[in-house]
Amino acid sequence: MANPVPSLEKSNALLAIVVGGVVGGSLDLLQACILFGWQTPLFVAGGLVGLEAAGNGGAGMYILGISLHFFIALSVAAIYYGASRRLVFLRQNWLVCGLFFGIAVELVMRLIVLPLCALHAKGPYTWGSEIQGLVVHMLLIGLPISFSVRRFAGATTRITAVRSNEAA
């Protein structure tokens, strides 16, 4: 008889990644647009093509910026999901781990991605912008992703444990 568990695990993984990435990405993009203006997706696109090209690109660049933003959000969710398969405490302690993951995302974006992109954003940054970026990424990126992984993919551990107990 075929084993349904692998397909269940794959669907849960995809669901956890998509829900966490889309919710976190949507919240983050919405707060950025409210805080910095509705031209924010053009700045995201500017990180790939340069600010001048993005500013002159119109709707196509706006869509590119939104697409890049969600690509990053889904990638970050996939990274958390992948790490949670080996590090069970990421699922068990989703609240604390989500907050720390949000800090890690903010630091990687601010210290590695932004300086290396076409914008070459290296600072100097103010304490206020640092704190704001950390809090926003902790609450709007880290928590939705960690909760999504806990909610939708946390069950695979229980299914595997039940299956291994049945075999014994």
The full set of domain ranges for the chain reads: 17-162
| Residue given tokens 């409210």 in the structure block | 34
| Residue given tokens 């991605």 in the structure block | 113
Output the pTM of the full model.
0.84
- What is the predicted pLDDT for the residue at 54? 87
Q: How far apart are CA 160 and CA 165, in angstroms?
A: 9
Average pLDDT score over the chain: 88
DSSP readout, 109-140? Answer: IIIIIHHHSTT-------HHHHHHHHHHHIII
Q: Mean per-residue pLDDT for 129-148?
A: 97
Q: What is the pLDDT of residues 81-103, one digit of tens each?
A: 999 999 999 999 999 999 999 99
